[in-house]
Amino acid sequence: DAGVIQSPRHEVTEMGQEVTLRCKPISGHNSLFWYRQTMMRGLELLIYFNNNVPIDDSGMPEDRFSAKMPNASFSTLKIQPSEPRDSAVYFCASSDRGYYGYTFGSGTRLTVV
Protein backbone atom coordinates (compact mmCIF):
# COMPACT_ATOMS: atom_id res chain seq x y z
CA ASP A 1 0.00 0.00 0.00
CA ALA A 2 1.36 3.43 -0.94
CA GLY A 3 -0.14 5.04 2.13
CA VAL A 4 -1.93 8.37 2.14
CA ILE A 5 -0.83 10.39 -0.86
CA GLN A 6 -0.89 14.17 -0.85
CA SER A 7 -0.10 16.57 -3.64
CA PRO A 8 1.59 18.84 -4.22
CA ARG A 9 4.40 18.49 -1.64
CA HIS A 10 5.17 22.17 -1.83
CA GLU A 11 3.08 25.08 -3.07
CA VAL A 12 4.08 28.72 -3.30
CA THR A 13 1.38 31.13 -4.38
CA GLU A 14 0.60 34.80 -4.32
CA MET A 15 -1.93 36.30 -2.00
CA GLY A 16 -5.40 36.26 -3.51
CA GLN A 17 -4.84 33.17 -5.62
CA GLU A 18 -6.84 29.98 -5.31
CA VAL A 19 -5.03 26.98 -3.88
CA THR A 20 -6.18 23.37 -4.09
CA LEU A 21 -4.60 20.62 -2.02
CA ARG A 22 -5.27 17.00 -2.88
CA CYS A 23 -5.39 13.78 -0.91
CA LYS A 24 -5.80 10.11 -1.77
CA PRO A 25 -6.59 8.06 1.33
CA ILE A 26 -5.64 4.44 1.89
CA SER A 27 -7.96 2.11 0.04
CA GLY A 28 -10.63 0.74 2.35
CA HIS A 29 -10.36 3.53 4.89
CA ASN A 30 -13.69 5.24 5.36
CA SER A 31 -12.65 8.26 7.41
CA LEU A 32 -10.55 11.15 6.15
CA PHE A 33 -9.14 14.08 8.07
CA TRP A 34 -7.52 17.40 7.15
CA TYR A 35 -5.12 18.98 9.63
CA ARG A 36 -3.09 22.17 9.52
CA GLN A 37 0.17 22.63 11.39
CA THR A 38 1.91 25.87 12.28
CA MET A 39 4.55 26.72 14.85
CA MET A 40 2.14 28.94 16.73
CA ARG A 41 -0.92 26.68 16.82
CA GLY A 42 0.46 23.18 16.43
CA LEU A 43 -1.68 20.52 14.74
CA GLU A 44 -5.25 21.69 14.22
CA LEU A 45 -8.08 19.51 12.93
CA LEU A 46 -9.86 21.38 10.14
CA ILE A 47 -12.50 18.92 8.94
CA TYR A 48 -13.19 15.23 8.76
CA PHE A 49 -15.32 12.94 6.62
CA ASN A 50 -16.92 9.58 7.32
CA ASN A 51 -17.95 7.60 4.25
CA ASN A 52 -17.37 10.70 2.07
CA VAL A 53 -19.75 12.84 4.15
CA PRO A 54 -18.41 15.85 6.06
CA ILE A 55 -19.11 15.26 9.75
CA ASP A 56 -17.48 18.19 11.49
CA ASP A 57 -16.04 21.28 9.82
CA SER A 58 -15.92 23.42 12.93
CA GLY A 59 -12.15 23.65 12.62
CA MET A 60 -12.27 25.31 9.22
CA PRO A 61 -10.95 28.82 9.86
CA GLU A 62 -13.37 30.76 7.66
CA ASP A 63 -15.42 30.69 4.51
CA ARG A 64 -12.32 30.96 2.35
CA PHE A 65 -11.66 27.30 3.18
CA SER A 66 -13.71 24.48 1.68
CA ALA A 67 -13.22 20.73 1.47
CA LYS A 68 -14.84 18.07 -0.65
CA MET A 69 -14.72 14.31 -0.90
CA PRO A 70 -16.46 13.34 -4.14
CA ASN A 71 -15.59 9.65 -3.71
CA ALA A 72 -13.86 7.28 -1.35
CA SER A 73 -10.48 7.70 -3.02
CA PHE A 74 -10.11 11.46 -3.33
CA SER A 75 -10.47 14.65 -1.31
CA THR A 76 -9.57 18.28 -1.87
CA LEU A 77 -9.01 21.24 0.41
CA LYS A 78 -9.43 24.57 -1.32
CA ILE A 79 -8.48 28.04 -0.16
CA GLN A 80 -9.93 30.94 -2.12
CA PRO A 81 -8.62 33.60 -1.87
CA SER A 82 -5.41 32.65 -0.12
CA GLU A 83 -3.73 34.92 2.44
CA PRO A 84 -0.21 34.93 3.93
CA ARG A 85 -1.57 33.70 7.28
CA ASP A 86 -2.68 30.50 5.54
CA SER A 87 0.97 29.51 5.20
CA ALA A 88 1.34 26.18 6.98
CA VAL A 89 1.82 22.47 6.44
CA TYR A 90 -1.46 20.78 5.61
CA PHE A 91 -1.78 17.09 6.44
CA CYS A 92 -4.35 14.60 5.29
CA ALA A 93 -4.96 11.40 7.27
CA SER A 94 -7.22 8.41 6.84
CA SER A 95 -8.59 5.75 9.17
CA ASP A 96 -10.78 2.68 9.04
CA ARG A 97 -12.59 3.79 12.23
CA GLY A 98 -10.87 0.97 14.00
CA TYR A 99 -8.62 1.01 17.02
CA TYR A 100 -5.32 1.64 15.32
CA GLY A 101 -5.50 5.34 14.72
CA TYR A 102 -4.70 7.33 11.67
CA THR A 103 -2.23 7.10 8.85
CA PHE A 104 -0.96 10.51 7.83
CA GLY A 105 0.30 11.68 4.48
CA SER A 106 3.58 13.52 4.03
CA GLY A 107 1.86 16.89 3.99
CA THR A 108 1.71 19.89 1.68
CA ARG A 109 3.83 22.87 2.66
CA LEU A 110 1.92 25.96 1.57
CA THR A 111 3.57 29.36 1.37
CA VAL A 112 1.43 32.36 0.48
CA VAL A 113 3.46 35.45 -0.37
Partner 1 sequence: DAKTTQPPSMDCAEGRAANLPCNHSTISGNEYVYWYRQIHSQGPQYIIHGLKNNETNEMASLIITEDRKSSTLILPHATLRDTAVYYCIVRAPLSNTGNQFYFGTGTSLTVIP
Interacting residue with partner 1 among 45, 64, 74, 87 (CB under 8 A): 45
Strand partners, 13: 112
31 touching partner 1, by CB under 8 A: yes
55 touching partner 1, by CB under 8 A: yes
Interacting residue with partner 1 among 2, 39, 40, 97 (CB under 8 A): 97
Distance, CA of 42 to chain centre: 15
Least CB distance from residue 19 to partner 1, whole Å?
19
- Alpha-carbon distance 51 to 71, whole Å? 9
- Alpha-carbon distance 18 to 13, whole Å? 8
